[in-house]
Structure 1
Amino acid sequence: MTSCVPVSFGRAPARRSRLACLPLALASAFGGAALLHLPSTARAQAQGPATLGETVVTANRTPQPLADLVGDVSIVDRETIEKSGAVGVADVLARLPGIEIARSGGVANTTSLFVRGAETRFTAVYIDGVRVDSQSTGGAAWESIPLSQIDRIEVLRGPAAAVYGSDAVGGVIQLFTRRGEEGVAPYAGVGIGSHGLRRGEAGVSGKSGGFDYAVGVSHEESKGFNVLPMDKRTPSKDGFTSPDRDGYRTNAGNLRLGYQITPDQRLDATLLYSDTNAGYDAPVSFRTRPPILFKNDVSSNTLQTAGLSWSAKWNEVYSTRVQVTDSQSIYKTQPSFYRTETRLRGYLFQNEFRFGPHLVTATLERREDALENAPTTSSGLFARDRSQDAVSLGYGFVQGPHSLQLHVRHDDDSEFGGKTTGSAAYGYAITPKLRATVSAGTAFRAPTLYQRFSEYGNASLKPESARNVELGLRYTDGATHAGIVVYENRVENLIVFDGAATGCSSSFGCYASTARARYRGVTLSGGHRIGDVTLRASADFQDPRDRDTDLLLARRARRHGTLGADWRIGAWTLGAEVQSSGKRYDDAANTRRLGGYTVLNLVASTQLTPEIGLVARIDNVGDKDYMLARGYDTGGRNAYLGLKWTPR
């Protein structure tokens, strides 16, 4: 989200120094992922295609049965989120196949997410259909999205630019807030945990006649822990420490209203707000050993989204949807001042034509991006904007064992011109239980406004472009499911920070479209129920590599996976989960090795009464000492206990 972030120290800018903005460029070279840190409180279930009658929106931007999709999709519902005891959205996503996350400290500090090893800016993120992104480093600020307000998550792995336009190079993640259902359904919850964690939430949803509503608020705070302790893992010549605890406080709320105007026309409005203040440790100077530090540095992360949509079904063949959206992301720090604000506005006009097994879509879309950046040096102060106009066509066919999906889209950017992307996917049911899929597609990511126009910018940057192919095989038989996906995604014009860039006005260097990357891998996933025990597992074997240097991309493991089991005993559900990851490298040169890890998490949940539910969780039971970014602590063993009241 920020534009000036130390590459090894999260989003914290160096105070009153030109070095403050240099690390942002380096962070972008490492995938835009400020710093990687494993979540210390997490559990998400990787749901397989066990509920094939479910409707999914994300894959093709229109509701479709899960059984008809060709894409690699995972779904996380509200029940899974509530029983997980997780604190952050990224914690839930980290348990899904093909996804790694990282943090530079606690849950409210800079959080990065890699889908199939791709840069964090290569995942398009939507909340209730509202695009969330940064025009500084690129990518969503995951730490600013309040899990307490999220009701459902859909994840599409693989490029989808032919449907969504810029940014969907590695995948698309849609988050949905609660929607009102018949009657009145209030709820309230409280929770406590390690590091002085306190949580509270309340809300109500309902439906009467043609009107439905859902409103919720939440508050969360933690005393935190020292995210930058110096010990034997951090040599004194490179390391530093700040003795303060880095806590956080988050206030969030959402409102969702719907009105069924007629049986065939509907109006929806959504609002979401989140404000997080978090402590972090910011070095003032990298030239001293150890670096000089400020105590009590605080970052503020504010996210606002709003959307208004009208959908109409004119007859059995033709339907339309019109949508206007707006999002605002503001990040700032004190006392080492820095502020960046991204504003996105979107307009969508989507048309659908259904003829028996055929579905044709035609979409017009406009996106307007604006960035205001106020770094620590006046020379870097600027405000810029741009727009992208797009037209896209899609075709879907489902009949018998065959599924076909074709998409083509043309985006015209006000800054660099046009870009055309396309995709083709085919699925064939070999048997009623076994299905094979094959797909290919192109994608792109437009350079951010910061990458083009800041003091480190390069106005001649080209869009990052990708070509992806993948093969999949999925087996489903009642409570048993298994799948394998093999993929390769090649990216050209990868934007990196080049310290020796020619024609650069900054002595530190500028951005350049000079690198190439290859994300190649195999994802295995499966689940099986034996009586009262449900087993689940996923494993990723990947090779995210710089094609020019033949080195591994920084802070991504070649192997990672989860193995879990849930056991129902009377009114209780007991769960155990092992999360494991191989070694990574902290730098692009692959000289600073970060060791692998394996941790055990335990969870228990039950209904104390028909209206009161309890969830208890212990993460990192063995108190494993590990890092995902050089020098950053992961918080060690921690526990959580929560109660929720949902009258029936």
Structure 2
Amino acid sequence: MKLKFIAFLLFPLIGFSQQNNSTPTDSIKPSNVFMLGEVIVTNHQNKDTLNRVTSKTMVSQNKMDVSRALNMLPGITLTASGPRNESMVSVRGFDLRQVPVYMDGIPVYVPYDGYVDLARFTTFDLAAIDVSKGFSSVLYGPNSLGGAINLVSRKPSQKLEYDGSLGMINENGYKGNLNIGSNIGKFYFQGGFSYLDRNSTRMSSNFVPTANENGGQRDNSYRTDQKISFKIGWTPTEKSEYAIGYINQQGEKGNPVYTGSDPLNSLLLKPRYWQWPNWDKESFYFISNSNFDDKNSLKTRLYFDRFKNTLDSYDDATYTKQTKPYAFESIYNDYTYGGNLEYNTKFIPKNDLKIAFHFKEDVHRENNLGEPVRHFIDNTVLVGIEDIYKVTPKFTVIPGVSYNIRKNTEAEDYNSTTKVISDYPSAGASDAFNAQIGFFYQLNEAQKLGATVSQKTRFATIKDRYSYRMGTAIPNPDLKPEKAVNYELNYTAGLFNKVTFQTALFYSKLSDAILNVSNVQPGKSQMQNFGEAEYLGVEAQINYEILSNLSLNVNYTYIERNNITNPNIHFTDVPNTKVMGTLEYKPIKILRLIANSEFNSSRFSTSYGARVPDYTLLNFYASGKIAKNFSIDAGINNIFDKNYCLVEGYPEEGRNFFVTLRFFNN
């Protein structure tokens, strides 16, 4: 299997060679971004390094999955769900239920709980990742309470483009990928294949062994992720474009056991022995933009997304038997379909008006092995209007408003004692209004100032409303949307053509927040619209070209999250302070050296006060071109072998290294 995989990746190297004088990580140009997949509010958005990660940056620092790539941005914190071995991020304190994830503007988050394991989304075929924080376009659709994340794919610009890699990670992991594209005038094709496999991750040598983990290679930490994607496009005119795409992701992973010491954590005495034999996602989509004339156009997105997932719970650390009461095999078989229309008109002078309609149906099907399947269906509709009003050449106002409604059409309950399926009591439709406005002023050629305010909502997920949480919770089908009002002031300045400074002050006020309320009945909790909270902070970034071959990037985030309703219940997973610095040096044209350091202050892991300490990491990367079409990348992460956690009881990887051979023709 591995030999066939390597041969498949090496095949494109035979017979293709073009002159290339760029360094290897410069191979993805701005023209390779699939612009039809972007959701752009302002015309300078795609140059905003405060809110965009490019493929060049992802490749240069070996960020193989979306969560690690996003962590390079200010305002974003790498988080994890340790008990489920899921990698996620927080955007200005909002989690992924409140900041949905899109692929080329199409929603890809999981229907049941609104989360998505970003470690399953690799970056090998991406051109960029865009983040909207707080003030996000109504064109994204519903549930963008704290913003939105859009993964933007590639689009070829030449008759033949290819790039790929073969690499080793530590002594027991490997990766490989291949991207091929062709643009022949009115038609183009883009395809990609990637494979990432690790038998385990290595723990820090400073880790103290526990009853459930003896150190060295982290037990049950394996992962395998394979991805195939392709896109076929037609551009009959300069301003019209039509594309059909397909993505197939297949993943499996282990779930390392809790190794902490928190006496209040039930996993201390009753650890989970979990494995995920499949985490598979398949997406079909059609995106088009039809220009009727110079002032009117229609953009269409249609999609069908399928998600299949299996979780196996075992008796013990041998992962062979399922005989005890807590052992089970849980099966999800979900799908989502929908679409959106955006009508764009510039008929009114100085105005760029967009009218949007979204429809989405989420179908969740679940059962444990041997049990009947339960069905849940949600329909969500949005109607929105957004305008870009150029008051003067320097002053722009962007207002937007939308009406959102979600209706549950099916929800089934299961009684494990009688083995009978019944319908939950019907819940009324839930609706919400969103409104926002942004003011942007170009002070001069080098300085921009912005101010935004947005009122956003998030509907409760199927899990929020109907989950028993393994017998510890009471369903609440009548949950209302949670609300947030987000405020932001931002400023960008360029100095002496060498320094770019960007900063943003932000404040969010949450109401009707959906929180888990304990002891609604003895020993049982319930999700309720119970909370009020506020998030506030600042983010800043400096890019400094010290010399023509030496540059420095530093970003800083400070955030406070206050639980107004109950200050004794702590918000989890987000540190108050995060600082990241990157120094890049090119001593000669064919060699690039990068040193990267990251600091995170301590953070709460539980609402009752368990914490993980602060940590500082140092990483080093090097990339050298060894021939016209080849380069070698190598790097060391966590150089000082820091023993650290994002979640108490789930230590992160210790010192690790990689070596990668890259090939390319542009």
What is the TM-score normalised by the length of structure 1? 0.84
Partner of 1:175 in structure 2? 151
Pick aligned residue for 1:367 from 351, 360, 371 = 360
Q: Which runs of 5+ in 2 are unaligned?
A: 1-24, 259-263, 314-327, 409-428, 469-473
Closer, same or farther: CA 538–375 of 1 in aligned 2, 3 Å: farther
Partner of 2:645 in structure 1? 627
* Worse-superposed segment, 621-630 or 264-273: 264-273
Q: Which amino acid aligns with 1:615?
A: D
Pick aligned residue for 2:73 from 96, 100, 114 = 96
Partner of 1:190 in structure 2? 166
Q: Which amino acid aligns with 1:278?
A: K
* Worse-superposed segment, 368-377 or 613-622: 368-377
Distance 2:646 2:370 in 1: 31
Pick aligned residue for 1:301 from 279, 283, 292 = 279
Q: Decide whether the 8 Å contact of 2:142 with 2:382 is kept in 1.
A: no
* 1:208-287 → structure 2 map (5 Å cutoff): 208-225=184-201, 232=208, 244-281=219-256
* 1:8-47 → structure 2 map (5 Å cutoff): none
Distance 1:168 1:302 in 2: 25
Distance 1:190 1:268 in 2: 29
Q: Which amino acid aligns with 2:155?
A: R
Q: Which runs of 5+ in 1 are unaligned?
A: 1-44, 46-50
Distance 2:581 2:35 in 1: 26
Identical positions, percent: 16
Q: 1:376, CA displacement in angstroms?
A: 7.6
Partner of 1:450 in structure 2? 463
Pick aligned residue for 1:396 from 388, 392, 400 = 388
* 1:322-401 → structure 2 map (5 Å cutoff): 322-335=300-313, 336-355=328-347, 357-375=350-368, 382-398=374-390, 399-401=392-394
**1:407 equivalent in alignment to 2:400:** yes
- Could you say what secondary structure the match of 1:224 adopts? coil
Q: 1:228, CA displacement in angstroms?
A: 12
Pick aligned residue for 2:123 from 144, 147, 158 = 147
Q: Decide whether the 8 Å contact of 1:144 with 1:303 is kept in 2.
A: no
- Could you say what secondary structure the match of 1:182 adopts? coil
Closer, same or farther: CA 164–265 of 1 in aligned 2, 3 Å: closer
Partner of 1:614 in structure 2? 632
Closer, same or farther: CA 628–174 of 1 in aligned 2, 3 Å: same
Q: Decide whether the 8 Å contact of 1:168 with 1:445 is kept in 2.
A: yes
**1:467 equivalent in alignment to 2:485:** yes
Q: 1:581, CA displacement in angstroms?
A: 0.7
Closer, same or farther: CA 241–378 of 1 in aligned 2, 3 Å: farther
Output one character per residue of 1:388-407: Cα deviation in whole Å (capped at 9) or x when no partner: 22211111023322121010
Partner of 2:471 in structure 1? none
- Could you say what secondary structure the match of 2:530 adopts? strand
Output one character per residue of 1:430-461: Cα deviation in whole Å (capped at 9) or x when no partner: 23222221110011111111221233420111
Partner of 2:261 in structure 1? none
Q: 1:66, CA displacement in angstroms?
A: 1.0
- The structure with the largest alpha-carbon Rg is 2
- Could you say what secondary structure the match of 1:120 adopts? coil
Pick aligned residue for 2:438 from 417, 420, 425 = 425
Q: Which amino acid aligns with 1:547?
A: I
Q: 1:85, CA displacement in angstroms?
A: 1.4
Closer, same or farther: CA 559–263 of 1 in aligned 2, 3 Å: closer
**1:135 equivalent in alignment to 2:111:** yes
Distance 2:247 2:173 in 1: 23
Q: Decide whether the 8 Å contact of 1:491 with 1:516 is kept in 2.
A: yes
- Could you say what secondary structure the match of 2:586 adopts? strand
Q: Decide whether the 8 Å contact of 1:372 with 1:383 is kept in 2.
A: yes
Partner of 1:6 in structure 2? none
Distance 1:582 1:247 in 2: 28
CA RMSD of aligned residues (A): 3.1
Q: Decide whether the 8 Å contact of 1:130 with 1:326 is kept in 2.
A: no
Output one character per residue of 1:171-196: Cα deviation in whole Å (capped at 9) or x when no partner: 21111222122211233310111251
Partner of 1:11 in structure 2? none
Distance 1:157 1:346 in 2: 25
Pick aligned residue for 1:564 from 582, 591, 595 = 582
Q: 1:103, CA displacement in angstroms?
A: 3.2
- Could you say what secondary structure the match of 1:459 adopts? coil
Closer, same or farther: CA 562–364 of 1 in aligned 2, 3 Å: same
Q: Which amino acid aligns with 1:450?
A: K
Q: Which amino acid aligns with 1:406?
A: P
Q: Decide whether the 8 Å contact of 1:282 with 1:297 is kept in 2.
A: no
Q: 1:146, CA displacement in angstroms?
A: 2.1
Closer, same or farther: CA 458–105 of 1 in aligned 2, 3 Å: closer
Q: Which amino acid aligns with 2:645?
A: M
**1:482 equivalent in alignment to 2:457:** no
Distance 1:287 1:547 in 2: 25
Partner of 1:537 in structure 2? 554
Partner of 1:599 in structure 2? 617
Q: Which amino acid aligns with 1:579?
A: E
- Could you say what secondary structure the match of 2:97 adopts? helix
Q: Which has the higher contact order (CA 8 A, sep 6+)?
A: 1
* Worse-superposed segment, 152-161 or 224-233: 224-233
Pick aligned residue for 1:547 from 540, 561, 564 = 564
- Could you say what secondary structure the match of 1:369 adopts? strand
Closer, same or farther: CA 287–391 of 1 in aligned 2, 3 Å: closer
Q: 1:350, CA displacement in angstroms?
A: 0.9
Distance 1:596 1:469 in 2: 29
Q: Which amino acid aligns with 1:427?
A: F
Output one character per residue of 1:508-528: Cα deviation in whole Å (capped at 9) or x when no partner: 322212122221111111111
Pick aligned residue for 1:157 from 133, 142, 156 = 133
